[in-house]
């Protein structure tokens, strides 16, 4: 695949969705960031197979593991190991190959490289060398869990793994307790009981949450409950502590406004001299938690009781 791009864009006739490439980019080969299955091998996309089969080198977190994946579809790529302990030395070598016009596919053991996995440094170095970086999307446990969790998906935060040590974990959770967006966490099977107990203690046992375990595999489990219920369930059933786990936690109810404690009448007193009744009612409702219709009626009554109102 020397110096050549695999996927000319159907849309504009240029390469892989790029509308133009700089001179450095056209001399460079591509770095393909390839997602691999998180359990079910059928989730490896056709496009990922083609890239892995034709790249000049496949940079893999664990070459034996990826070698087995490649062997399932009869692919014999040159495998180069790239993990957190050799990244510093390996990244310049791989970038050198990209600059010489070769293509490199980056994979991790499972899911999307760089997401709680190695890859970030190579991606940055490829950009800095002026090479193109092309995602080949596919599985990621975080997004798979989120999609099936039944927790709000319009805004979410990915926190990766919580700290392993109890004190640091609780501190982190305290910092996250008022986060209003859905929270996605990776957790290991041997810490799941302690993590759920801490989550229930810090976020409150009533907080909605989903445990997604062994996604795409034989014992796939997706359970939506509250943190208190999940903690009790996992504590009571050792099978629920096996395998790989993602926690998806509903966000905190909106943090109380700094004006919490203000009454509706007090808010309207302050707002009506400045704003028309509908606007004052809307702001007062937001500040006090009152229903907007009630706030509007109170605003009208307030005004008619005030002879100075215009």
Beta bridge partners of 208: 226
Instruction: Find the binder of ligand SAM among 16, 18, 115, 129 (CB under 6 A).
Output: 115
Q: CB–CB of 227/249 below 8 Å?
A: yes
Query: Rule CB under 6 A: is residue 193 a binding residue for ligand SAM?
Result: no
Cβ-based neighbour number of residue 149 at 10 Å: 25
Q: Is 246 in the site for ligand SAM (CB under 6 A)?
A: yes
Inter-CA distances, 300 with 145, 222, 230, 292, Å: 48, 50, 48, 12
Q: Which stretch binds ligand SAM (CB under 6 A): 17-25, 113-121, 226-234, 262-270?
A: 113-121
Kindly state whether residue 221 participates in binding ligand SAM, applying the rule CB under 6 A. Answer: no
Residue 185 Cβ, how far from ligand SAM at the closest point, in Å?
A: 8
**60-89 mask for ligand SAM (x: CB under 6 A)?**
------------------------------
Q: Which of 141, 135, 126, 134 is nearest to 96 (CA)?
A: 126
Any alpha helices (H) in the chain, and if so which ranges? 23-27, 46-54, 63-72, 87-99, 120-128, 141-149, 166-176, 192-203, 227-236, 264-271, 277-288, 292-304
Min dist. Cβ of residue 87 to ligand SAM (A): 15
Q: Which is nearer to ligand SAM, 179 or 220 (CB)?
A: 220
Instruction: Report phi then psi at 182, rounded to 5.
Output: -60, 140
Q: Which is nearer to ligand SAM, 195 or 227 (CB)?
A: 195
Does 111 interact with ligand SAM (rule: CB under 6 A)?
yes
- Count CA atoms closer than 13 A to 63's CA, side-chain side: 10
Please list every residue from 28 through 57 that binds ligand SAM, using CB under 6 A: 38-39
Q: Which residues bind ligand SAM (CB under 6 A)?
A: 38-39, 108, 110-112, 115-117, 140-142, 186-188, 212-217, 244-246
């Amino acid at each position: 695949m020397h110096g050549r791009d695999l996927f000319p864009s159907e849309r504009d006739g240029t390469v892989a969705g790029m509308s133009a490439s700089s001179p450095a980019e056209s001399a460079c080969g591509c770095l393909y960031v390839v997602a691999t299955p998180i359990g079910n091998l059928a989730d490896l996309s056709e496009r990922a197979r083609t890239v892995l089969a034709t790249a000049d080198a496949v940079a893999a977190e664990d070459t034996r593991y990826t070698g087995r994946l490649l062997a399932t579809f009869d692919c014999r790529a040159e495998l180069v190991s790239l993990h957190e302990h050799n990244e510093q030395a390996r990244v310049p070598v791989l970038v050198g190959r990209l600059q010489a016009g070769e293509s490199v596919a980056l994979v991790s053991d499972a899911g999307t490289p760089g997401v709680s996995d190695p890859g970030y440094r190579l991606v940055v170095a490829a950009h800095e060398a002026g090479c193109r970086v092309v995602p080949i999307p596919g599985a990621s446990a975080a997004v798979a869990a989120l999609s099936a969790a039944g927790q709000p998906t319009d805004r979410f935060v990915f926190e990766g793994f919580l700290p392993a040590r109890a004190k640091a974990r609780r501190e982190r959770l305290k910092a996250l307790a008022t986060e209003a967006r859905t929270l996605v966490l990776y957790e290991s099977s041997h810490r799941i009981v302690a993590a759920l107990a801490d989550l229930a203690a810090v976020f409150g046992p009533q907080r909605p949450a989903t445990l997604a375990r062994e996604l795409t595999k034989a014992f796939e489990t997706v359970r939506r409950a509250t943190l208190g219920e999940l903690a009790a369930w996992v504590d009571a059933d050792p099978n629920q502590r096996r395998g790989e786990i993602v926690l998806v936690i509903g966000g905190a109810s909106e943090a109380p406004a700094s004006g919490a404690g203000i009454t509706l009448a007090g808010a309207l007193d302050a707002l009506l001299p400045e704003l028309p009744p509908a606007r004052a009612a809307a702001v007062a409702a937001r500040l006090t938690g009152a229903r907007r219709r009630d706030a509007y009626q109170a605003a009208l009554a307030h005004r008619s009781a005030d002879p100075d109102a215009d």
